[in-house]
């Protein structure tokens, strides 16, 4: 992988940015996300998570450090009107 390879396409975060976050001390998926925004975009890390875990492993961090970030509401992007239901008086 080249340094300018885009690891997270939603937020446009490159391999180089991931590596520099690891250098600054980020060693889990959640920490990489906070340092770089990788995984914060529309797909919520569905695509880039596995790549980032591989990069972490290459840097010597054990898979148990790579617990996935909390899965939280919503599971997929949802329009607010769908979420609150059409019966609601808004």
Binding site for other proteins (CB under 8 A): 11, 24-28, 31, 34-35, 37, 40-42, 44, 70, 72-74, 77-81, 83-84, 88, 90
Question: Do 12 and 6 contact (CB within 8 A), yes or no?
Answer: yes
The dihedrals phi and psi of 31, each to the nearest 5 degrees, come to -70, -40
Calculate the alpha carbon distances from 15 to 19, 43, 64, 74 in Å.
6, 18, 22, 28
**Smallest distance, Å, CB 74 to other proteins?**
6
**Smallest distance, Å, CB 2 to other proteins?**
24
Q: Between residues 4 and 80, which has the closer beta carbon with respect to other proteins?
A: 80
């Amino acid at each position: 992988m080249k340094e300018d390879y885009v690891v997270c396409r939603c937020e446009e975060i490159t391999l180089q940015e991931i590596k520099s976050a690891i250098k600054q001390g980020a060693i889990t998926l959640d920490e990489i996300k906070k340092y770089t925004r990788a995984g914060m975009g529309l797909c919520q890390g569905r695509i880039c998570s596995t790549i980032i875990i591989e990069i972490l492993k290459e840097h010597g961090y054990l898979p148990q450090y790579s617990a996935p970030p909390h899965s939280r509401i919503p599971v997929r992007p949802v329009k607010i009107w769908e979420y609150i239901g059409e019966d609601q008086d808004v």
